[in-house]
Amino acid sequence: MIAFNELLQVILNTIVPIFLIIGITMLVSRSKQMDVGTLSRISIYIFSPALVLTSISQTQLDTAELGSLMAATLVACLVLVVLGTLAARGLRFNREIASSFALAVFVMNSVNFGFPFIEFAFGPQGLEPAIAFSVGQGLMAYLLGTYVASRGRAGFKTAVRNALTIPMPYAFIVAMAFNLTDTPIPPAIMQAADVLGKGIIPVMLVVLSLQLRGARLRGQWQAIAWATLMRYGLGVLVGIAIAALFGLQGLSRQVFILEMSMPAGVLSGVLSTEFGGDPEFAASVILVTTLTSAVFLSALLMWLNG
């Protein structure tokens, strides 16, 4: 009974606020048109780099820990894409399903869902390792994800070009330069970035809500079930193993494992649509993993805190 009460409290404190925002957005969007594309671009190109700039420039994490987080993220994504691809072949999915299946396994929703969950669970200090994770995962998602989705048809140049247009890595480099040289960011820039950075959590939840509203569950239940089990199961197991391999400790370890275990990322659906996967299957996996995340992530958070 104590464990159940603790689990319920974690759900109420971390998951329920997220789903309340999702529900309110879905309700309003039924009568008021909202442009998810514009909101998504605003979060990627304005709010995200602003949050990276303010958080990393003032982070209390040392350089070695940030480097370990980034390296661990890159290696973990490589491991997941290999395991996801092998599993899709073993299960004999067709080419389109296999592409989107592998994407669902290694492209997790580390930002739209991960940032709010981490902030509700650990407060603003939890966002520092989460940002380092998202920068590494974002690079791998665009580079490897484009290739996986297209099966090589789009080419490596397209993958590189997509990755180079994302401002988060550049903001990360600039912020690290200020941090390492102990140089304060000019107050006007810092205040502007601080205001913009605070907007990312609600906007990303609105974007996630609108994207989920358009998802439909249509067939392929076996593939959806396997993708859901592997997104969570491999996420946790690979997260624990890679965290140990790179010596992650404390808050960094907790955030890393939680981010590795987030629902399937919306970007998996975007890449499936753009480069030749199965968009409906991708959207279905995103919807199912998001809806089933409450108990799983809450229980995982309890275990990590225990």
**Contact (Cβ atoms closer than 8 angstroms) between residue 4 and residue 288:** no
For the segment 11-38, the average pLDDT, to the nearest whole number, is: 83
Q: By three-state DSSP, how is residue 108 classified?
A: strand
Residue 140 vs residue 147, higher pLDDT: 140
Give the residue numbers spanning the domain of 162: 35-305
- What is the pTM (predicted TM-score) of this model? 0.81
Residue 99 sits in a domain whose CATH number is 1.20.1530.20
The answer to the question of residue 193 being in a domain is: yes
The answer to the question of residue 252 being in a domain is: yes
Q: What stretch of H or E contains 299?
A: helix 293-305
Per-residue model confidence (pLDDT) at position 244: 96
Pull the structure tokens for residue 280: 């409906």
Number of domains in the chain: 1
The answer to the question of residue 28 being in a domain is: no
The answer to the question of residue 293 being in a domain is: yes
Rounded to whole angstroms, what are the CA distances from 37 to 182, 207, 297? 37, 8, 28
Q: Which of 104, 120, 29 is nearest to 269 (CA)?
A: 104
pLDDT at residue 273 above 70? no
**Contact (Cβ atoms closer than 8 angstroms) between residue 76 and residue 239:** yes
Confidence of residue 190 (pLDDT cuts 50, 70, 90): very high
The answer to the question of residue 7 being in a domain is: no
Mean pLDDT of the chain: 84
The answer to the question of residue 20 being in a domain is: no
Confidence of residue 152 (pLDDT cuts 50, 70, 90): very low
pLDDT at residue 7 above 70? no
The answer to the question of residue 2 being in a domain is: no
Rounded to whole angstroms, what are the CA distances from 271 to 56, 142, 276, 289? 28, 8, 8, 18
